[in-house]
Structure 1
Amino acid sequence: MSRPHTFTPPPCAHAHQLRTARGDFAVLDAPARTAPRGTALLLPGYTGSKEDFIALLEPLSAAGYRIVSVDGRGQYESEGTDRQDQYAQAELARDVLAQAAALDAAGEGTVHLVGHSLGGQIARAAVLLDASPFRSLTLMSSGPAQVAEAQQLKVKMLSDALATLSMAEVWEAMRALDPPEDATTDGEALRRRWLRHRPAQLIATGRQLASEPDRVAELAALALPVHVLSGERDDTWPVPLLDEMARRLGAHRTRIAGAEHSPNTDRPEQTAAALVSFWESL
């Protein structure tokens, strides 16, 4: 689970509902604070939310980019249903295309797309459906195919629990397994976020994480600049696997020192600098 250090957005950002052709999505929106250089759409990972990118908003907007982080369908403050088929990867990818269209009304293909973990695989599916709205794709701690075997087992355990227990009961069970150092994290805010996720969304996207095929060759065939960014350690997709994926893609590669699976929360300043460096290189 991504653990943002705060759920309060900085003064440069405001929360609102982004209206799209596929419904409204809850976003944090930080306008560029200098001469505008572009727009970036940020997709969170499994069990995450738009707040996972809070620490990136200020440095990225200060660099001249409009930054919009979004709750996907059935995540936290975006509406969803209890039908698992509504969270098929193709449906979530079409949501991303609708979000990009809402941000790029001129249709100039200027949106930088960033996906963390599960969000990276949804982002990949979106550009494989239609790459034209996007200027670039950054896969943040998001691998070429299914998650590591140990993570597949964790996802299955969670899905089995969600099928029989309430969200509140599952939360209490997860917190009981947390290491002591996580006790200082803002548990009440995390709990509120968890309780607003749709169980059907978690079950359906968990299944995707455990069964995602390798689509690197398809992505490599697109004329779209790709950035593979990660921490220096990762137990969801091993870092050497991410290195190899970047090689296969001919992608820009960044490892964030001192970060693990969530460089956006572990080392936000360095992560923001890496994103800006990549975008400006284009």
Structure 2
Amino acid sequence: MSTPRFLDLPPGVAPHKIETAQGTFAALEALPVSGVVERWPALLIPGLTGSKEDFIAVLQTLAQSGRRVVAVDLRGQYETPGPDDPGAYTCAALGSDVDLLAQTLNGGDEPMHLVGHSFGGLVAREAVIDGRTKFASLTLMSSGPSAIVGERARNGRALLKEVPVRGLEHVWATKMEPEALANGVPDEIIAFLRKRLLANSPTALSRMAEQTLNAPDRTDELRQIEVPTLVLYGEHDDGWPSDLQSEMATRLGAECVVLPGAAHSPAVEAPETTAAALIRFWNAVESPHLDTWSNAV
């Protein structure tokens, strides 16, 4: 059976397994199709019900800017197994996993850019604040300063209520599949979304939903780290309101980029403009340091 078209991996992108002290993490690794790796690498963290596949549309473009780019499934997500212990899925615990992934991937030899989408932004924020890894930059993609609100908050409360009692199959059949069908999502994508949801650890999904609904505002703590930060979101984002994300950027002293036509998943909905914004930001961060680092190694 052939791979569905939307999951065909672009040239330079391949499945990857990352072996760590916390177990094996499933990943997609992208390398330049032409040229060499000459810029700092990047690690991409997906959202609550997402996975590494959410970044497929941007991976080749990002890598072609001269860097290694790795998108991962967090513990308990899709193709990365996780324990039954709810404590493994707090933002702090998952942030520690991100530290470990970054240190495993680059061996501490060079700075690494970090991108977190939605819930992944809350996790990435923890990895920066805990200070175990000095990241080159942080991008908060469609991710707010504290607990999520609005329709996505209602969806999170439904997950928290229904998954432990009725299971993931019930959530798919009564909520996610009808929404996908109503939105005209192609059959092959619906099949993948079902496979992905059911592969998640129910414990992980419930605990992550709880974390998203109760996240504290750590903006002031993040600002103290003084890591170059980009706040990036679609103009039609239905997660955290635009004004909250814009205000967060101001509090962080961060650059803020609003992507026309995109909603909550810019890497899917506006891949080229998303990739262009990330590359421009990363290159700007690297410019004052790259010659010095190159001479040092």
**Residue 73 of structure 1: aligned partner:** 75
Show the 5 A alignment for 1:22-171. Answer: 22-33=22-33, 34-35=35-36, 36-105=38-107, 107-130=108-131, 132-171=133-172
The answer (yes or no) to whether the contact 1:87–1:205 under 8 Å persists in 2 is yes
**Residue among 233, 239, 246 paired with 1:230:** 233
**Residue 13 of structure 2: aligned partner:** 13
Counterpart Cα distance in 1 of 2:174 and 2:194: 12
Counterpart Cα distance in 2 of 1:110 and 1:85: 29
Structure 1 length normalisation: TM-score? 0.94
Deviations 1:219-242 (A, max 9, x none): 111121000000011121011111
Counterpart Cα distance in 1 of 2:123 and 2:56: 20
Number of aligned residue pairs: 278
Cα separation, partners in 2 of 1:183 and 1:149, compared to 1, 3 Å: closer
Q: AA paired with 1:184?
A: P
User: 3-state SS of the aligned residue for 1:153?
Assistant: helix
Deviations 1:46-74 (A, max 9, x none): 10000000001111111112110000000
Q: AA paired with 2:9?
A: P
Deviation beyond 3 Å, 4+ runs, structure 1:
none
User: 3-state SS of the aligned residue for 1:258?
Assistant: coil
- Could you tell me which runs of 5 or more consecutive residues in structure 1 were left unpaired when the two chains were aligned: none
User: 3-state SS of the aligned residue for 2:58?
Assistant: helix
22-31 or 174-183, larger mean C-alpha shift: 174-183
Alpha-carbon shift at residue 150 of structure 1 (Å): 3.5
- Could you tell me which runs of 5 or more consecutive residues in structure 2 were left unpaired when the two chains were aligned: 286-297
The answer (yes or no) to whether the contact 2:13–2:30 under 8 Å persists in 1 is yes
**Residue 251 of structure 1: aligned partner:** 254
Alpha-carbon shift at residue 126 of structure 1 (Å): 0.6
Provide the aligned C-alpha RMSD in A: 1.6
Alpha-carbon shift at residue 180 of structure 1 (Å): 2.0
Cα separation, partners in 2 of 1:169 and 1:201, compared to 1, 3 Å: same
Counterpart Cα distance in 2 of 1:147 and 1:134: 25
**Residue among 190, 215, 220 paired with 1:217:** 220
Alpha-carbon shift at residue 99 of structure 1 (Å): 0.3
> Which of 1 and 2 has greater Rg?
2
The answer (yes or no) to whether the contact 1:9–1:28 under 8 Å persists in 2 is no
The answer (yes or no) to whether the contact 1:109–1:134 under 8 Å persists in 2 is no
